[in-house]
Structure 1
Amino acid sequence: MVAFLLIFALMLNLTDCLYIHTVQTFQDLRQQGQTGPAVAFTALVSKDTTVGSKAVVKYDRVMSNVGGAYHPSTGIFTAPYKGIYTISCSLLSDPSNSVHLQITKNGSKVSILYSASSTHPHAGQTLQLLLNKGDKIWIQNVYSKLAKLHDNGSYNLFSGVLITRL
């Protein structure tokens, strides 16, 4: 139990560091004279959630949505500009099942997150992606079975930020 609490505390610290890094990146870009519309979002799953077979995860608790490019009703982020984006996702499954979630770009797999059953392992991915205007990014259940996510509004996260326009 102590090990679980220690790992959990480290994961929360990692999430805090990611948020601070994103804010610092915004500030650095503004200081370098890169102006223009900002794009950034962070959304969470607000409660324990069951995701259908091959279904998109709908992160319903939107913490920020600068530029309005994330759509909580569909769970899809649409890049409003060509540029380099940071995309992040975290996963905590319900202990009753293992879960594989896929970070998807325009229908193609980019990366997979895994959380095992019978424990509370927290998985995370952060990617820097070159996206064209109109590209779509979403997180979906990989399997043909239901995926139960464990959450109280802080473990399962989907976020993105435009680092620079091209």
Structure 2
Amino acid sequence: MFIAQKIAFSAGLLACGSGHTGPVDYKKTLEYKKVISNIGNAYDPDTGVFTAPVKGVYYFRFYAHSHSGNQMGVSLLKNTQVQVSVYFWKPTTNGNASNGVVLTLEPGDRVYTELWENCWVFDNERSYTSFSGFMIFPL
């Protein structure tokens, strides 16, 4: 009998307080410090990176929040390759965007989000900017 490993995580950008991340003049890996759940311990809040422990099909989603007048751009990457992105050009009011993707991962594959150059995201205790993922099934 095969028992599947349980893998799931959810994290908000800031562990406490509120504030902007960015802008920076380079692409920056976002480190989600408010770990809400981390079953299987595959997500590392010190690096912002999820590392696949087993081969399988996984689902990831992320949300990003921006205040008015701030350009927001974030991508989700698998091993340095952009998979999906969100972008908001200086909204007149607060802006929110989200995206999700199903990925086939090998052990050691890395999934993370990256803030674009000259872009901002905002977060507070409500975790408007967040990153989550889970294994759908092993292969």
TM over 0.5: yes
Post-superposition CA distance 1:41-78 (Å, at most 9, x none)? 00001232324320101111000000000001110000
AA partner of residue 94 (structure 2) = H
AA partner of residue 112 (structure 2) = W
Selected match of 2:19 from 25, 30, 48? 48
Larger radius of gyration: 1
What is the aligned partner in structure 1 of residue 102 from structure 2? 128
Matched-pair identity in % = 32
The structure with higher relative contact order (CA 8 Å, sep 6+) is 2
Cα distance in 2 for residues equivalent to 1:48 and 1:142: 17
Matches within 5 A, 1:5-154: 35-46=3-14, 47-51=18-22, 52=24, 53-117=26-90, 118-143=92-117, 145=118, 147-153=119-125, 154=127
Higher strand share: 2
Unaligned runs of 5+ in 1: 1-32
User: Is the contact between residue 11 and residue 132 of structure 2 (CA under 8 Å) also seen in structure 1?
Assistant: yes
- With normalisation by structure 1, the TM-score equals 0.74
Cα distance in 2 for residues equivalent to 1:65 and 1:72: 10
Unaligned runs of 5+ in 2: none
User: Is the contact between residue 45 and residue 151 of structure 1 (CA under 8 Å) also seen in structure 2?
Assistant: yes
C-alpha change, 1:50 and 1:84, in structure 2 (3 Å) is: same
Aligned residues: 132
Higher helix share: 1
